[in-house]
Amino acid sequence: MSKAKPMTIAAVSSTLGAGLALLYSTPANEKESVNIPTPQSKSLPSPDEGLVILPNALTENNTTTAAIQEKTPPPVSPIGILKYGNPGPINDKITAISLHGAYDRRTRNPYWVAEHLTRDSVSSVIGRRKNNFRQDPSIPATFRARVSDYSKSGYDRGHQVPANSARWSQEAVDETFKMSNMCPQVGEGFNMHYWAYLEDFCRNLTSRYPSVRVITGPLYLPAKGEDGKWRVSYEVIGQQSAGSGSKDKDEEPLPNVAVPTHFYKIIFGEEENDDHRIGGQVAVGAFVLPNARIANDRDLGDFEVALDNVERASGLEFAQELKSSQRRRLCEEVKCDLKVKDFSDAVEDVTGLMAGAKI
């Protein structure tokens, strides 16, 4: 692909995907010495006589030790730990009429959130923005992101599914203001500007495709240090008490919400609007943007990456049911040259949409 940024994602993917294989073997000089006794009869001892199975031993009728052991219940049951409850991982579903996704309890951010755009949805302006940010009651209280976590943090409460894409219904707009749909985002030059124009780019795609589906989410990517080693480092904002089980009443509250280093958007331009069937060709675009101020003259194509690199970096699969033969490259069908040519105009245009988002 042209303009893909391998140093941004490809290096990251190889780093995150690296694994260590541990091999266990018995040294040759420590192998057990086994004396195989000569059977005295043609029948095995009865169970009440006690059956001793020797390694690698064969019965007279060539029954293997493994086959005999399969009939004997193991002396342990690791699965029994589930009687106390399944530790996880548990992905809380984020479900509303305007969005669908999964929530990450550890970072207090969504893993991913999906929206659906059509010509009818983007042309309707029934709902209005009320800025009613609030906790998501469907998430267990211990793992919720809270509005107060963003107070004096310097970060915006950044919508993953934008409110402006859900104006076809007041309920749809209101649902986007739950904190399960938010991530900490840099405001000036990103959330209030370049990111907002990227959201507008997605809506404008409905003029080319009757159905547009967008998946958005955070990434926590490693950076190369001065010593040449790659490390993942991100800020955590907000405060949460250590919990009722803490013995130290003066224990300092812990930070609560992770600040992503990057954000991704996966865009599907569909020729048919069908929830259950993949019909015809689908234009696919994957973009990764840093959570930082972006110059207003940068092309969106500068942030285009290979879809599988985003999958490796995020641990998610976005198009496993979409055959490669059905995929087309979005930026070959539409012009991915998103620019904020006049920054002052951008501020004026977007301020109304993002009012109240900056803390």
**Number of helices (H) and strands (E), helices first, in the chain?**
8, 13
Nearest 5°: phi and psi at 201? Answer: -60, -45
Q: Residues, the chain, total? A: 359
The verdict on whether residue 181 carries a ligand-binding annotation is no
Tokens 């979005």 locate to: 330
- Token pair recorded at residue 212: 């547009």
CB 181 within 8 A of CB 135: no
Which one-letter amino acid corresponds to residue 47?
A: P
Active site residue 100: no
Asked whether the CA dihedral 143, 148, 153, 157 is positive or negative, the reply is positive
Kindly name the residue from 116, 159, 193, 262 that is annotated as catalytic. Answer: 159
Kind plus residue range of the DSSP H or E element containing 114: strand 109-118
**Does the bond joining 218 to the residue before it have cis omega, within 30 degrees of 0?**
no
CB 114 within 8 A of CB 95: no
Which one-letter amino acid corresponds to residue 68?
A: I
Calpha distance 268→283 (Å, rounded): 6
Q: At what angle do helices 194-204 and 343-354 cross, to 10 degrees?
A: 80
CB 223 within 8 A of CB 231: yes
CB 217 within 8 A of CB 172: no
- Token pair recorded at residue 86: 């399944």
Binding residues, as ranges, are: 191
Catalytically active residues are: 159
Q: Which residues are annotated as a binding site for Mg(2+)?
A: 191
